[in-house]
Structure 1
Amino acid sequence: MHLDHDPSAAPADTIGFDDFLKADIRVGTIVEAEPYPEARKPSLKLRIDLGPGVGVKKSCAQIAALYSPETLVGRQVAAVVNFPPRQIGKALSEVLTLGFADEEGRVVLFQPDRPVPNGSRLF
């Protein structure tokens, strides 16, 4: 799957609301973060508390260009929780942590502007 990070790109094909609902996007709090130097792109390994319905899940995120592990613990982020797990090098990524590319292509994390309960679903 190719994702276009160009802000001037045209929108993707139109989908129905039911298609949107198939992506289960939840908010969670990062409870652990550590470097992942074995990854091809600057990455961190995260453990995210996604609330009682989902639990604590692992994510490998290409965010090391802008974030250090010590600045992430306690921060809320959004993640897709219903993709199948992916092997990223030697680590298993159970959820996809969401972000946007900045002008230089570095990932900026997506987070709510106010605290919300872990496990809250995006709608």
Structure 2
Amino acid sequence: MHLEHDPANPAAETIAFDDFLKVDIRVGRIVAVEDFPEARNPAFKLTIDFGPAIGHKRSSAQITTLYDREALVGRLVAAVVNFPPRQIANMMSDVLTVGFPDEDGNVVLFAPDRDVPLGARLF
């Protein structure tokens, strides 16, 4: 099944390019991963390095089905860095790590396929 042609999952409404620019998606490198048993759904606590301009930020990510803690350290990921911090269980999540659902609804992380400078912005 191809989700892009699924009538139950249509494309979002058209937005202006300036609206897209309001969402600041940056690349970072995962530097630490912790279990997060307090989360409502299985998740990891990630510490992500976005380079000197943004620094280290925390994120909760429901990626425990497809990813092991050890394999995540050092991996590049993309995250929205300009949402306000959000309380998730007993941690404050600074950024929203982004991904796509696989056919079973598990999160597949979104990342560049080559090294890019930490903190580089998606455009």
**What amino acid maps onto 1:113 in structure 2?**
D
What's 1:3 paired with? none
What's 2:70 paired with? 70
What's 2:113 paired with? 113
- Give 1:84 deviation, angstroms: 0.3
Task: Give the ranges of 4+ consecutive aligned residues of structure 1 lying more than 4 Å apart after TM superposition.
Answer: none
CA distance in 2, matches of 1:42, 1:106: 11
CA distance in 2, matches of 1:99, 1:88: 18
1:20 is paired with a residue whose SS is helix
1:45 aligns with 2:45: yes
CA distance in 2, matches of 1:101, 1:38: 23
What's 1:85 paired with? 85
- Give 1:52 deviation, angstroms: 1.1
How many residue pairs get aligned? The number is: 118
Cα deviation code 1:25-45 (max 9, x no counterpart): 000000000111111111000
Cα deviation code 1:42-96 (max 9, x no counterpart): 1000000011111100000111111111110000000000000000000110000
Provide the TM-score with structure 2 as the length reference.
0.93
Gaps of at least 5 residues in structure 1 are 1-5
Question: Percent identity between the aligned chains?
Answer: 64
CA RMSD of superposed structures (Å): 0.9
